[in-house]
Amino acid sequence: MILYLRDCDICFDLPLLALYLFPASQVLPFDTFFFFPKLFFHFQQKLLILRKNYSNNMKTKSKSKSNTGGSTLIRFDWAMKRLLRQKANYTVLEGLLTVLLKEEVKIINIKESESNKADAADKYNRVDILVENTFGELIIIEMQNSDEVDYFLRMLYAVSKTTVEHIMAGEPYSKLRKIYHINIVYFKLGQGKDYVYRGGTEFRGIHLNDLLYLTDDQKTFFEAGGNRKNVKDVKDLYPEYYILCIADFDDVAKDSLDEWIYYLKNNEIPDEYTAPGLKEVKQQLQYDKLSEQDKIDYDHHLKQNLFERNVLNTSFMKGENKGLKKGEAIGLKKGLKKGLKKGEAIGLEKGLEKGKAIGLEKGLENSVLNGRRAGYSIEIISTITGLSPEQITEILKRHNL
């Protein structure tokens, strides 16, 4: 049975209610779960995740209110889906693009995207928007909250699909549009130390490592096409990729782009920030300015994101525990096998040593008996075997000689 706590936007199984009744600082008593003792450990871990997410949400809301005159800023992904498509709000996206591309960007059109439709696809926790600027260039802006192992290939697919969809059959290749693909990701994508990456296409010689450039005639031809600007290099003809790794940002804003990333990460804008577009964010993207229906839709969006994060965190926790148990079992099995082999080797070595000792002792005993039967005295047998007269006497007594 699922229980929803309205005051903190948390959905969880009914037994968690008992846990929620205790302050976060308290250690939960085991007898709280006397009716579900086997689930105690699982719920303890799950609640820690829920409390962490809830705490982060409360901090974000508190900070946002303090920097927007008491009104909470709405999340940028929902704004992209519902508000930034309106011409009156183009200045917000224009500010972000101007800062990122380091040139003034003016939007003339925002095209429809399948992922922007308000339906069950919301559960995939991503949103994208397709923008056309005054040069006829196409800009894909995509936000992704959940981890996706093949995300790099999805970037390639998105650009390829957009490329072929914006040229008519029979048109010359010179009509192909310049495409920018801007990715705002909230998970660890690849391995790197930076938090903003730019990718493009260039051609280098495999022998001389020289860069392949356009000729002057090629530059004139492409610029005359009318839908490209500043074509100076081969890379200017190909798509460009930008990746903003939001989670890796250290919250220290050193320039206008950092100010934008700070907002995207923390959902707040300090008063001293002056990056293009942020003023419009504070003015236009306030929760209090939403219609009642938009407020309902936005609250649902937040709950859906929180639910998906909790599901992912729980799945990760279960996978980690399962992997740990499996690893322990495999390690124990290998350890026992290795220990058995080592034990066999040690046993064999000790057995050989003991066998040698027993064999030597038996051989000496036979020598004493044979010498005595041949009529040798104890003194002579001692000289031959190296045994003391007492040891020889003891052996002879055991055999009644």
How much is the pLDDT for 360?
74
How much is the pLDDT for 247?
92
d(CA 263, CA 53): 18
d(CA 238, CA 177): 9
As for how many domains the chain has, the answer is 2
User: Could you give the C-alpha distances from 328 to 176, 314, 332, 335, 363, in angstroms and in order?
Assistant: 56, 21, 6, 10, 51
Are 146 and 191 members of one domain?
yes
Residue 382 lies in a domain: no
Tokens 């099995």 identify what position?
A: 333
Residue 314 exposure: Cα atoms within 13 Å on the Cβ side: 15
How much is the pLDDT for 331?
74
Are 245 and 270 members of one domain?
yes
Are 159 and 259 members of one domain?
yes
Burial class (CB in 10 A: 0-12, 13-18, 19+), 110: buried
Are 262 and 154 members of one domain?
yes
Are 34 and 121 members of one domain?
no
- Considering 285, 306, 321, which residue would you say is the last residue of a domain? 285
How much is the pLDDT for 396?
86
User: Could you give the C-alpha distances from 168 to 176, 177, 180, 346, in angstroms and in order?
Assistant: 10, 12, 20, 79
- Alpha carbon of residue 285 to chain centroid: 29
| pTM of the predicted protein model | 0.62
Are 259 and 164 members of one domain?
yes
Are 155 and 274 members of one domain?
yes
How much is the pLDDT for 56?
53
Are 42 and 125 members of one domain?
no
Q: Which domain holds residue 37?
A: 2-66
Q: What sign for the dihedral angle of Cα 294, 296, 302, 308? A: negative
Are 163 and 57 members of one domain?
no
Residue 17 lies in a domain: yes
Residue 155 lies in a domain: yes
Are 54 and 123 members of one domain?
no
82-129 pLDDT per residue, tens: 888 888 899 999 999 999 999 999 999 888 665 444 444 444 456 789
- Considering 66, 96, 121, which residue would you say is the last residue of a domain? 66
Residue 93 lies in a domain: yes
- Considering 66, 89, 112, which residue would you say is the last residue of a domain? 66
Locate 43 and state its tokens: 């719920």
- Alpha carbon of residue 322 to chain centroid: 18
State which residues of the chain have pLDDT below 70.
1-71, 112-126, 225-227, 304-320, 324, 328
Residue 44 lies in a domain: yes
Residue 187 lies in a domain: yes
Are 51 and 176 members of one domain?
no
Residue 7 lies in a domain: yes
How much is the pLDDT for 250?
95
Residue 336 lies in a domain: no
How much is the pLDDT for 29?
45
Are 34 and 92 members of one domain?
no
